[in-house]
Amino acid sequence: MQILNQKLTKLYYSIGEVAEMFNVNASLIRFWEKEFSILKLKKNKKGNRMFMVKDIQNLELIYDLVKHKGFTLEGANKRISELHKGGGPVKKNESINNEVVFKLKAIKSKLLLLDSK
């Protein structure tokens, strides 16, 4: 799923539009809003949630971790906390890059242990 590859031209998107992008129910997005602190949605005067591009980027990361990689909500929150620095949205590529670096460091440690024997 590459939501961000689609052209997002509007400043704000409704929860219905976002739910359709991810092919999920709006109730799941509302639930994730409560579970993930990186989702800080603006609401209009009527109280409707308004999603900006950064919110959709964060939702794509959550969707990828939970639906594709099989993280629990707690695990996804922990992973996002590790990746989320500086207050901006975490890009999916950044997540993948950090995972690669983490795995390479683990391999390096194992090789150094083998070398010292």
Q: What is the pLDDT of residue 49?
A: 94
Q: What is the pLDDT of residue 93?
A: 58
The answer to whether residue 25 is domain-embedded is yes
Q: What is the CATH number of the domain that holds 40?
A: 1.10.1660.10
**How many CB atoms are closer than 10 A to CB 23?**
8
In total, the chain counts a number of residues equal to 117
| Domain membership of residue 21 as a residue range | 7-116
The answer to whether residue 2 is domain-embedded is no
Task: Decide if 108 contacts 100 (C-beta within 8 A).
Answer: no
Q: What is the pLDDT of residue 83?
A: 79
The answer to whether residue 22 is domain-embedded is yes
Task: Decide if 72 contacts 35 (C-beta within 8 A).
Answer: no
Task: Decide if 26 contacts 16 (C-beta within 8 A).
Answer: yes
Q: What is the pLDDT of residue 97?
A: 63
Instruction: Count how many domains the chain has.
Output: 1
| Mean pLDDT per 10-residue segment, the chain (117 residues) | 64 93 95 92 93 91 91 90 64 60 72 74
Q: What one-character-per-residue DSSP string does 37-83 give?
A: TT---EE-TT--EEE-HHHHHHHHHHHIIIIIS---HHHHHHHHHHH
Helix axes 26-35, 15-22, angle to 10 degrees: 100
The answer to whether residue 1 is domain-embedded is no
